[in-house]
Structure 1
Amino acid sequence: MKNSFSKIVSSAEMKNLEWKIFRNGVTSELLMEKAGISGVYLHGLSAEMGNPENTSSGTIANDILPYIPIAINQMKKSEFRNG
């Protein structure tokens, strides 16, 4: 049984719409994955900047907080964006 929407939209249009929804979902997942990877990289880079000699046994958020803007600027200038 066809609903009112399927009466208005042709089969080709429906397939095109389904493809766009699928493509947008995949794109969204890839962007989320890239954001997660970037966040992990940013966190590590900030930690290295905050403790370049790696002398302490641990690091807390306040230790790396001042280095996050610097790390972001470094990431913007680096090839990480293209990878």
Structure 2
Amino acid sequence: MELKNTVDLMLGTDFKDRFKAEYYQLDNRIAGLQRMLKGYKEGTLEFTPNCSYEILCAQLIYMKFYRDILEARAEIENIEL
């Protein structure tokens, strides 16, 4: 799901909708960072990052860990992602 498609969920009053938006936004950002890291490693980025590959890789690890926590919580709270 694209970020722009999460706006209505994020602005909703139902916490489950906001939770889903948070999850989808995080998942989208993980995918983008993975693409960037691939380009970084291959030397195909159209820009030069200020951060090292290692820092960005650590960020990805923690983002994935956060996603895992959201998935566990969704299961506990019966939120279908």
TM-score, structure 1 length as denominator?
Answer: 0.39
TM-score, structure 2 length as denominator?
Answer: 0.40
Q: Which has the larger radius of gyration?
A: 1
Give the structure with the larger helix fraction.
1
Higher relative contact order (CA 8 A, sep 6+): 2
